[in-house]
A and B are shown apart, each in its own frame.
Chain A
């Protein structure tokens, strides 16, 4: 539920991947949340139905967000960001480092309604804890999922803003970009659709030396709007399997392999890995 709340909402196939369960099982879980008044479901666009948290659900998770269904105009984007998060959280380095994801919804809530047209929020941030067994420990990455083409100038301006920001989101205006302070985002990761990639690449080149801190990758095929992972009857507990074996490749690897191992301690498993954590390594089961 916390994942669903953080990401605005998830589609049923994504919920199945998240739970490591089959589609019918995910549907049953969503129905249970609905019965408890914690969530609502509806078919908002192409592909499987969407599930999002109600006010009661957000309160149960301790999230102080406005309870609204995912905006229709942003469905494709929300799905893409969720898939990017899945892909990153499934990596061995991510789990080993105990990294954590901070989504746009959390950043926006931290802004407290002060996010104006002049301030760009990334789609997510990845925080790599200090002392983690990865070379980039201590860094904070900005993550952007790009589906559509903006202008090169606009994209470059966003990149520059992300890389030059020094303050936290919601900090006083005087701290947003303080010369002399280290930047908030050590690098920015752009995960692009095929259509957006040329623009993003050109924008990075336009940045000059600053562009060296931009990473560009392709969106996974499952990020396509309307794409639904075919449910495999009897599939369960892939995440639990990922937790038991670091080398298994986590969520995405299990998803690709379609392994059907036992294990249902999804939340506990993710908490151990820090995959969906709040940044403190703890994860209350939803």
Chain B
């Protein structure tokens, strides 16, 4: 009995071994018989492994090669004759028969030493099949490694992932180094930021592009100094400008306006401003104004009510018992702004009005008894209010004096000295936001505005950033908040989460030591841990258990180890790791000798390009820069050429 059982065991073992050998032999025979397909599959899978490609790329290549196969099949059906004396048969049969014939012919050619011709003969059939098979094999390999079922040792999946990351980075760097491979925008207007390194739950395309609509939503950018944050921001701004200008030219969109509030200040901000100007010029922005160094924005163009509020907010005033002085200040400012002769035209005019005598004279024309009563009761405080505003304007400088408005340039780069002069920068930030809000709700309603704020938390004491967010949302502005760290986003944790959670356009993460809040916001994905054994490619053993676990979509370790110019774009529960392509700015333009009598470079430019500051009335045209006076009248010439204009028709220069 025992002997019989042992014999049975031995026979079963031999049968199993024979079965396995048979299986291996059959597989080897199939692989050898389909050698052309096998070779292509092996080559493509090895290439994908070496370059870190996703399987989808091989599938795409297989699809792209299908027209070749179709053409070949049609040509075969039309041209291949049947055996001598036998009719060729119907076309569909010849099409179905073509792969077999090619396979046969390839083997015959290879056997007779014509390997090249054999390869050409079988290529139309073997290439798409091989690419698809290679893609499947590569996908299976990735899956088995991700689930921990593959590899020689338990740590193989980790090593595999790290090695693949390095290869993907190398491929992405090679792509951005190739001239012309990463355009600024795609033909359908998407903004290309660089080359894709890796994607999770996002489509894996070689060039990482985001739709223009995302730039019209709120975005958050977090990255420490030296990680390529400015390069990424410049790329996004240039993409916004180029796409928006194209849409505007095509009549599909409104005119773009980019306003950057750089709240750090200092020499570094000025260097970035110059680079921004040159990069955006290449993207189509005709004029970039740098405030307050080269251009000014007139605060005095605000409507009187808004001007009063803004002026009061510029001056710090306390609460509690100090609220009395706040009310007095508001009353005096309101009287100065709302004087019967009209609102003040500049800071000097405003300061002149902060005088009890001036106010009394201005309101003494009759019908302003209430105002006169207020002036009498507050007269002893008017001088104090004047002193405060005189101090404020001395510190603010001439940046808020006319001429100048947001309509004068496509891009406004505003530098706020948030590090060196925090109090001044806070006042400036408050005023700039008020002015922008007034502009986009009035004259600039027909613009597509992107407000980019960098390190706004440094100046957000008087205007909390969430207020800026809400205000921008109500005005249709897109806000892009950038900071060097999660903590730099806003003053407290609640505000930070509020900002990050409402970033509809996505979050950009560059290298940062504390990515965990954003990682948590990005969400997780399901993974299956299984102890079931993989029997063959599609077959799993019944023994064992499986457990679903959640892993973060964004790997915080990857974020902490990102290199310079690498970013993770988090959007809707997915992430795309990008190697950002740096935009090369045009060289600085050599400015000609500055015309005498003009204050600043851009001020001169504004006068030159807008004609502002010249006499607009009286029948003479304002002179462009370089002309001493108004433009000479060319009416006689034009009358001679085109006939006299009927009076009042507006043919003359105004």
Contact = CB atoms under 8 A, between A and B. Distances in A.
Interface of A: 87-88, 90-94, 116-118, 134-136, 153-154, 157, 161, 163-166, 172-183, 186-187, 189, 191, 201, 204, 208-220, 249, 252
A6 to B, nearest CB: 19
Contacts of B586: 172-174
B608 interface: yes
B606 A179 contact: yes
B504 interface: no
* Residue from B612, B620, B624 whose CB has the most chain A CB atoms within 10 Å: B624
A217 B644 CA distance: 9
A164 B625 contact: no
Nearest to B646: A218
Contact of B653 (A118, A153, A201, A215): A215
A173 B638 contact: no
A186 B609 contact: no
Contact of A212 (B588, B616, B645): B616
Contacts of A88: 637, 641
A253 to B, nearest CB: 9
A178 B589 contact: yes
B651 A174 contact: no
A117 B246 contact: yes
Of all A-B residue pairs in the complex, the 7 with the closest CB atoms, nearest first, are: A179-B605, A135-B632, A182-B626, A174-B586, A164-B609, A212-B621, A180-B601
Contacts, number: 170
Given A118-B246, A186-B627, A208-B616, A215 B634 contact: yes
A175 B621 contact: no
A174 B281 contact: yes
B89 interface: no
Would you call the interface of chain A mostly helix, strand, loop, or mixed?
mixed
B122 to A, nearest CB: 44
A212 B626 contact: no
Interface string B339-365: 000000000000000000000000000
Given A94-B637, A165-B286, A181-B591, 6 more contacts: A164-B287, A172-B586, A177-B281, A180-B598, A181-B608, A209-B622
B369 interface: no
A174 B250 CA distance: 23
Contact of A178 (B250, B591, B612): B591
B284 interface: yes
B590 to A, nearest CB: 9
Contact of B625 (A134, A174, A180, A252): A180
A210 B255 CA distance: 18
16 contacts: A88-B637, A135-B632, A136-B631, A153-B446, A166-B608, A177-B609, A181-B591, A182-B595, A183-B609, A187-B631, A191-B642, A209-B610, A209-B613, A210-B612, A216-B650, A217-B645
Contact of B637 (A91, A163, A164, A178): A91
B442 interface: no
Contacts of B255: 157
A205 B249 CA distance: 21
A180 B608 contact: yes
Given A164-B286, A181-B625, A117 B250 contact: yes
Contacts of A174: 278, 281-282, 586-589
A10 to B, nearest CB: 19
A233 B7 CA distance: 125
B616 to A, nearest CB: 4
A134 B589 CA distance: 32
A157 B622 CA distance: 19
Contacts of B251: 154
Contacts of B616: 208-209, 212
